[in-house]
Copies of this chain bind each other. A is one copy, B any other.
Amino acid sequence: MKTKQTDLADSLMERGYRMTPQRELMLSLLGGSDKHLSADKLLMGVRKVYPRVNKSVVYRNLELLTELGLVSCVDFGNGRVEYEVHRHPHHHHLVCRNCRHTIMINSDTFAELQKQLSDHYHFIADMDHLALFGLCHACQTKAQAQQGHHPHPL
């Protein structure tokens, strides 16, 4: 059975990059996790096997893998940036700015916007793994209930 990591490794090699133990492990950690991983968590994981791996390697490899489209990077705001193997293409995240809850949505919702940007501005938007901020339903309700009780606004 051909594993996902092997697929990823092949994609690297085909484009003239080298497969190193560090990269192999990074891909395996990312591929083995169905959720997002922060650069730091990934570094911790890599260091369990190769304790001397430097953070610059993790950052450089994440950048490369993102460029190659093997990994995608979601910026959740507040300095929270996470990476995932690019396996569920074209989904986006709605991030509540209050409770940080995130909703995953597919990209159909964005198709019309993308068309308009292309028609009106000749701009091809990267519509992948966008994170939009706002207020989720629960926090809207909370905000209404507490209206006027904040010394500092939300």
Contacts and interface: CB of A to CB of B under 8 A. Distances in A.
A13 interface: no
A103 B153 CA distance: 31
- State the copy count for this chain: 2
A92 to B, nearest CB: 10
Size category of the A interface is 20 to 34
Contact of A113 (B97, B109, B135, B153): B109
Contacts of A75: 75
A110 B109 contact: no
Interface of A: 15-16, 67-68, 75, 94, 96-97, 103, 105, 109-110, 112-113, 116-117, 120-126, 130, 132-137, 140, 151-153
